[in-house]
Amino acid sequence: MKLRKIVNRIIALGVGAILVGSMVGCAQPARTFATEEEFKDAAVAEIDITTDNQAAIDAATEDLFTQDELDAKVAAQKVIDDQVLEDYKTSEKDQADDDATAALKASIFYEKDDLGLNSVTSFSLDDSDLPWLQDTKIKFDNEKIDIHEELIFSGLGVKTSVFDPEFEDNIYLTLETENGMEYRYYVDDEIKIGDISRDDPLEINFNNNSIEIIKVTSASFTVVQGETVTLEEGASKTVTIDGEDVEVTASIISDTAKTVSIAIGDESATDLSKGESSEVGNTEYEVYIKSVMPNEAGELAPDRVTFRISKDVEIKYEAGDEVIEDDDRYEYTIDVTDEEEPTLNYLGITRVEVSDDIDDDYKPITADEEYVFAGGLFSVSISTTEVTYFDYDFKFGEKDNVNAIKITSSDDEGIVIGNDEVDKIYF
């Protein structure tokens, strides 16, 4: 069986569909034929039988192909269609990946562009600029308290050898002043510092760390930290502290005194109440009791205790203390209101070291480096934008017998006049 080889085009996603019998520019609908015999009958019907018809029949049937040829054409088209579909899916996936990457970048990164060389800038960022910064409510003393975080930058410089010949051909991001980078955790609603205690600790996520504040003064704050563990009486759990596995046991929970004894091996800390901290015997570990939950008489629920455990479970931070031991770049800050009953304004961390000279202990950074803030909360870096420069040629002469200045650009669109872009202009 043969079919006529009249094929206009194959649609890209036509899944092997072949258009048979269509003819461009024909006013009447094209006819199709299922078999060679049917086609011959139609052709012969229009032939003058008084003449030799063989030439006409040969001409009518010479442009046919076999079933094998048709199968091969369909198979070849299927390969093309499959590739088109695969390319489409790949394109869609790439676009989705690009969109996801752009969304992720927008949620993680902030970019301040158009900074001039040898300039200094200052600005602050909050959750509207970086969505991962907090702007939420926390619970304290059975109330909801508004808080938010800010990053504050002061005296960030973009400097070249014009500023310092030792910078040579590099561009540097400098920190021109003390407190050039600062993180602040603001308490927007009123919390009197005298209300923060062991019985009512202030639990916050500070610099991406969960801490429990048990005391605040105008110049310090005291926190308890460490792994939080909840155990039933007699139960044990293995926790990892500074890379070491430690098995801790709630050995005794008193129903009457609401106290607890915590054991590590043969060592123990006994008769601890809520809000108390103690070293566990002669071990290097300390515990802080968050809550003791003895059951009432007749209750089936077991006695429970929740506590923190760490090598330094209770720490006092003074304003000006180093955030990282033996690293004098970062210090703690604190601000409270100047009132008879002071309230907490913010807790923070600031970078106090200036970095604006090649010979500084902490030298300024180039585009290949970054400033990493204490604890790794964020980093700051600089990148450059590629700029294309044009050459302009100024000549004095005549234009249409009028003295003129001719300005010619090395680029075809280097001169903009209104909405027009040209390469030369006369004045």
pLDDT, tens digit (0-9, with 9 covering 90-100), for 172-183: 889 999 999 999
pLDDT above 60: residue 125: yes
Spatial CA neighbour of 34 closest among 66, 10, 1, 9: 1
Instruction: Summarize the confidence of residues 179-192 as an average pLDDT.
Output: 97
Q: Which amino acid is at 288?
A: Y
Out of 215-219, 360-364, 369-373, 418-422, give the one with best mean pLDDT: 215-219
Radius of gyration of the chain (CA): 40
Predicted local confidence at residue 9, as pLDDT: 32
CA dist 339 to 222, 342, 343, Å?
21, 5, 8
Instruction: Summarize the confidence of residues 307-327 as an average pLDDT.
Output: 95
Predicted local confidence at residue 96, as pLDDT: 64
Distance in angstroms (rounded) separating the CA atoms of residues 350 and 153: 10
The CB density around residue 166, as the number of other CB atoms within 10 Å, is 11
Let me know how long the chain is: 427
Instruction: Quote the distance between the C-alpha of residue 41 and its chain's center.
Output: 72
**CB burial of residue 12 (10 Å; 0-12, 13-18, 19+):** exposed
Predicted local confidence at residue 395, as pLDDT: 83
Domain boundaries, the chain: 3-84, 119-223+317-380, 227-311, 392-426
Give me the percent of the chain exceeding a pLDDT of 90. 44
| pTM given for the model | 0.65
Predicted local confidence at residue 38, as pLDDT: 54
Per-residue pLDDT tens over the stretch 260-303: 999 999 999 999 999 999 999 999 999 999 999 887 765 667 89
Distance in angstroms (rounded) separating the CA atoms of residues 397 and 393: 13
Question: What six digits make up the tokens of 35?
Answer: 């078999």
Angle between helices 54-61 and 36-45 (to 10 degrees): 140
Distance in angstroms (rounded) separating the CA atoms of residues 180 and 121: 10
Spatial CA neighbour of 299 closest among 264, 261, 255, 341: 255
CB-based contact 412:391 (threshold 8 Å): no
pLDDT band of residue 255 (cuts 50, 70, 90) is: confident
Q: Which amino acid is at 393?
A: D
**CB burial of residue 41 (10 Å; 0-12, 13-18, 19+):** exposed
